[in-house]
């Protein structure tokens, strides 16, 4: 009986690990590295799905991929400049849960960010960026709009603020860079999937043997 329980437990752990890895490694930041959290403890929980990350999610038409420190005193207030109600100075559900926390590091719409730059008067007139938490998809989107001043400026601003070169890199190269960082996790995930299959087979076989023994006892 203990063997059956342990096999089930191992199988569940493997499956949960696969789903967790998929979640953590499903996006890259503008450095082509693992996307870091935008919001943290003591701040309001951000992200389109309120998971703390500026992840690329189907259905997120606003593409909330840019992480900005809305509490920074440099530059114009994001909400005011873009003509929104001042939710930037509000409090929402805490990153760690349990109460309300001030909105600080926040995932904003990449299209609104481009407008923010335009209306604020340039890259030196905006609030601080949290570079490690900016999704690579923002750079890819701006690259796809190359030739449109508004989006060219947005891309150059990210480069300037974050010390990264994106403008001179082709879209296909950016995609390749992002995918290369997934190579290790794909390999690891493959091993985990294989391990889960073995665990399930072992558990299923154990169940069958247990059933046969119970039948013989009866």
108-144 residue pLDDT tens: 999 999 999 999 999 999 999 999 999 999 999 999 9
| pLDDT confidence tier of residue 75, bands split at 50, 70 and 90 | confident
Burial 186-198 (b: 16+ CB within 10 A, else e): eeebeebeebbee
Q: 58 exposed, middle or buried (CB, 10 Å; 0-12, 13-18, 19+)?
A: exposed
Alpha-carbon gap, residue 164 to 204, rounded angstroms: 51
* Range in 42-46, 75-79, 163-167, 171-175 the model is least confident about: 171-175
For the full predicted model, state whether its pTM sits above 0.75: no
Residue 200 has pLDDT above 90, yes or no: no
Residue 22 predicted with pLDDT over 80:
no
pLDDT of residue 158: 97
Structure tokens at 204: 């299923």
Please work out, in degrees rounded to the nearest 5, the angle formed at the alpha carbon of residue 22 by the alpha carbons of 16 and 26: 160
Paired tokens of 87? 């939710």
For residue 100, list its beta bridge partners: 93
Burial state string for 118-127 with b = 16 or more CB within 10 A and e = fewer than 16: eebeebeebb
Nearest C-alpha neighbor of 106 from the set 40, 151, 152:
40
**Residue 33's CB: how many other CB atoms inside 10 A?**
13
Q: Strands, DSSP E only, in the chain?
A: 66-69, 91-93, 100-102, 105-108
């Amino acid at each position: 009986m203990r063997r059956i329980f342990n096999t089930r437990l191992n199988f569940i752990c493997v499956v949960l690990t696969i789903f967790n890895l998929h979640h953590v490694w499903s996006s890259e930041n503008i450095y082509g590295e693992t996307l870091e959290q935008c919001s943290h403890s003591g701040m309001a929980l951000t992200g389109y799905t309120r998971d703390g990350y500026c992840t690329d999610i189907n259905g997120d038409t606003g593409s909330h991929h840019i992480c900005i420190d809305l509490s920074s005193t440099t530059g114009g207030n994001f909400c005011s400049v873009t003509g929104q109600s001042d939710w930037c100075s509000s409090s929402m559900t805490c990153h760690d849960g349990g109460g309300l926390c001030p909105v600080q590091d926040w995932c904003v719409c990449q299209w609104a960010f481009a407008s923010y730059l335009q209306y604020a008067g340039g890259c030196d007139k905006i609030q601080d960026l949290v570079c490690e938490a900016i999704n690579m998809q923002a750079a890819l989107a701006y690259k796809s709009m190359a030739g449109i001043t508004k989006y060219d400026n947005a891309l150059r601003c990210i480069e300037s603020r974050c010390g990264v070169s994106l403008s001179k890199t082709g879209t296909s190269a950016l995609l390749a860079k992002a995918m290369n960082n997934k190579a290790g996790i794909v390999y690891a995930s493959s091993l985990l999937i294989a391990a889960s299959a073995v665990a399930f087979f072992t558990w299923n076989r154990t169940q069958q043997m247990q059933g046969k023994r119970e039948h013989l006892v009866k």
